[in-house]
Amino acid sequence: MATLTLIGEPFPDLEARAQYSASRSLTEALAETAPRGCSSRLLVARDSITSKLRSARASIEAVPMNTGSLPILWRTGATARPLDGEFVHANTPMLPLRSRTEDDGSQTSVYIPHTLAWSAPELMGSSSQPKAFRSYAKRAARLADVLLAPTHAVAQELRDLLGVDVQVLPLAAPSEYLGTENSAATRSALNLPERYVVTTALPGANGRLEWVLNAMEVNSALPNLVVLNFDSQPLPPVRPSLEGRVHVVQIEDLNEVGAIISGAELMVLPQRVIGAGYEVIGALAAHVPVLHSDCDAVAEIALDASLAAETEEDFAAALARLTAEAGAEEAQRLRMFAEDRKRSFSWNITAWQLWELHANI
Encode pLDDT of 288-311 as tens digits: 999 999 999 999 999 999 999 999
Which pTM was predicted?
0.95
Q: Are residues 125 and 221 in the same domain?
A: no
- Closest to 260 in 3D by CA, of 212, 293, 225, 222: 225
Enclosing domain of residue 151:
3-172+346-360
Residues 6 or more apart whose Cβ sits within 8 Å of residue 45: 8, 9, 62, 63, 65, 66, 67, 70
Side-chain half-sphere exposure of 320, counting CA atoms within 13 A: 16
Encode pLDDT of 315-334 as tens digits: 999 999 999 998 899 999 99
Q: What is the pLDDT of residue 103?
A: 63
Q: Are residues 152 and 238 in the same domain?
A: no
**CATH for 225:** 3.40.50.2000
Helix (H) or strand (E) holding 297: helix 296-302
Q: Are residues 259 and 272 in the same domain?
A: yes
The amino acid at residue 65 is: M
Report how many domains make up the chain.
2
Q: Are residues 31 and 95 in the same domain?
A: yes
Q: Are residues 189 and 143 in the same domain?
A: no
Q: What is the mean pLDDT of residues 265-291?
A: 97
Q: What is the pLDDT of residue 186?
A: 97
What's the chain's average pLDDT?
93
Report the C-alpha gap between 19 and 25 in whole angstroms.
Answer: 10
pLDDT at 1 over 80: no
Q: Are 257 and 282 in contact (CB under 8 A)?
A: yes
- Closest to 294 in 3D by CA, of 272, 319, 316: 272
Report the C-alpha gap between 229 and 249 in whole angstroms.
Answer: 6
Encode pLDDT of 108-134 as tens digits: 999 999 999 999 999 998 778 999 999
Report the C-alpha gap between 57 and 37 in whole angstroms.
Answer: 9
